[in-house]
Amino acid sequence: MTPLRQRMIDDMQLRNLTPATQRNYVHHVAALARYYQLSPEHLDLEDLRQYELYLLNERKLAPDTINGYVSAVKFLYQITLEMPWPDAVFPRVRRPRTLPVVLSQEEVVQFFDHIPSLKYRAILMSCYGAGLRVSEAVALKISDIDSKRMLIRVEQGKGRKDRYAMLSPRLLEVLRLWCRAARPKHWLFPSWRTGRHQTPTSVQYTCREAWLRSGLGKKVSAHTLRHSFATHLLENGTDIRVIQVLLGHSRIDTTAHYTMVSPQVVSHTLSPLDTLNRENRSVHKPKPRA
């Protein structure tokens, strides 16, 4: 390991970046060094710009991937190498605005009917029933299930934040059924590897197989179930600030994205035109000429 890489890793650890973020940053910086066959400390802004254009035009990578590279080199040069470069010299690729796929409640039922494994059904029902990310669902411990208060404790979710999610009676029933069958000891969904929990990758694979068997036209992932959870709460009249807390969003505008997903919310929203009463309209009605 080069001294520069070790220094960057140390800087990331000091700032409490998640292990996944650290791996992602190191990956992008290593790819940059391989491309130029040169240590990043010897590159300039034009080199960084040309490499970003290469990722965009030649490799045709997704905007999120390219922006991951931008975040990595921004950290390297501003923090580790202490270069006095402003944020403006690290341009990000604009992401196209797309709406997430959302299942109807009937489609959710149809999807769950095609998951044969009790373990994976319990995991994916946690994603829909509590709005958990798949990484949060597989990392649940038995002690995280609070059946007295009907809460699920999500420990160190995205952004390394703890929060509470709802525990529905139906989900509790499924989790108890799973526990009676598997007798887990620490992790709620243990892996075949000793002392480890189930991996998100295996859940996503099972999710894809269930989607193919279900015959649904909409593509279903574990995150689709989380989107559907939020949208269905919104359609049932749940306050968007409550949904924000349940999803673990730091910003309300992230949660507000779901208002663009639900046509039902739009169609049931009362126009201010319809709130004008006849009396107010008659006040401003022009008087007939004598």
Q: Which of 121, 163, 197, 226 is catalytic?
A: 226
Domain boundary among 89, 117, 134: 89
- Is 284 part of the annotated catalytic residue set? no
Domain boundary among 65, 89, 113: 89
Q: Which of 5, 114, 223, 257 is catalytic?
A: 223
Structure confidence at residue 280 (pLDDT):
54
Structure confidence at residue 257 (pLDDT):
73
Q: What is the CATH number of the domain that holds 40?
A: 1.10.150.130
Question: Are both 208 and 131 inside the same structural domain?
Answer: yes
- Is 114 part of the annotated catalytic residue set? no
Structure confidence at residue 134 (pLDDT):
93
Question: Are both 137 and 84 inside the same structural domain?
Answer: no
Question: Are both 132 and 187 inside the same structural domain?
Answer: yes
Domain boundary among 89, 117, 139: 89
Question: Are both 186 and 56 inside the same structural domain?
Answer: no
Question: Are both 214 and 138 inside the same structural domain?
Answer: yes
Question: Are both 133 and 242 inside the same structural domain?
Answer: yes
Q: Is residue 22 part of a domain?
A: yes
Q: Is residue 273 part of a domain?
A: no
Q: Which of 158, 208, 218, 257 is catalytic?
A: 158
- Is 281 part of the annotated catalytic residue set? no
Q: Hey, what are 35's tokens?
A: 């491309």
- Is 226 part of the annotated catalytic residue set? yes
Q: How many domains does the chain have?
A: 2
Question: Are both 126 and 246 inside the same structural domain?
Answer: yes
Question: Are both 125 and 199 inside the same structural domain?
Answer: yes
Q: Is residue 43 part of a domain?
A: yes
- Is 223 part of the annotated catalytic residue set? yes
Q: Which of 28, 74, 133, 232 is catalytic?
A: 133
**pLDDT per residue over 232-278, tens digit each?**
888 888 888 888 888 888 777 777 776 666 666 656 666 676 666 65
> How is 196-254 classified by DSSP, letter by letter?
-BPPHHHHHHHHHHHHHHHT-SS---HHHHHHHHHHHHHHTT--HHHHHHHHT-SSHHH
Q: Is the pTM of this model over 0.75?
A: no
Question: Are both 14 and 140 inside the same structural domain?
Answer: no
How many helices and strands in the chain, by DSSP H and E? 14, 3
Q: Is residue 203 part of a domain?
A: yes
Q: What is the CATH number of the domain that holds 216?
A: 1.10.443.10
Q: Is residue 276 part of a domain?
A: no
Expressed as residue numbers, the domain containing 8 is 3-89
Structure confidence at residue 267 (pLDDT):
61
Residue 61 gets the label, from left (phi > 0), alpha (psi -120 to 50) or beta, of beta
Question: Are both 62 and 142 inside the same structural domain?
Answer: no
Structure confidence at residue 283 (pLDDT):
47
Structure confidence at residue 172 (pLDDT):
94
**pLDDT per residue over 202-215, tens digit each?**
999 999 999 999 99
Ranges of residues in the chain whose predicted pLDDT is under 50? 282-283
Tell me the residue type at 241.
R
Q: Is residue 239 part of a domain?
A: yes
Q: Is residue 167 part of a domain?
A: yes
Q: Is residue 272 part of a domain?
A: no
Question: Are both 44 and 166 inside the same structural domain?
Answer: no
Question: Are both 173 and 253 inside the same structural domain?
Answer: yes
- Is 35 part of the annotated catalytic residue set? no
Q: Report how far residue 252's alpha carbon sits from residue 234's, in angstroms, rounded to the nearest whole number.
A: 14
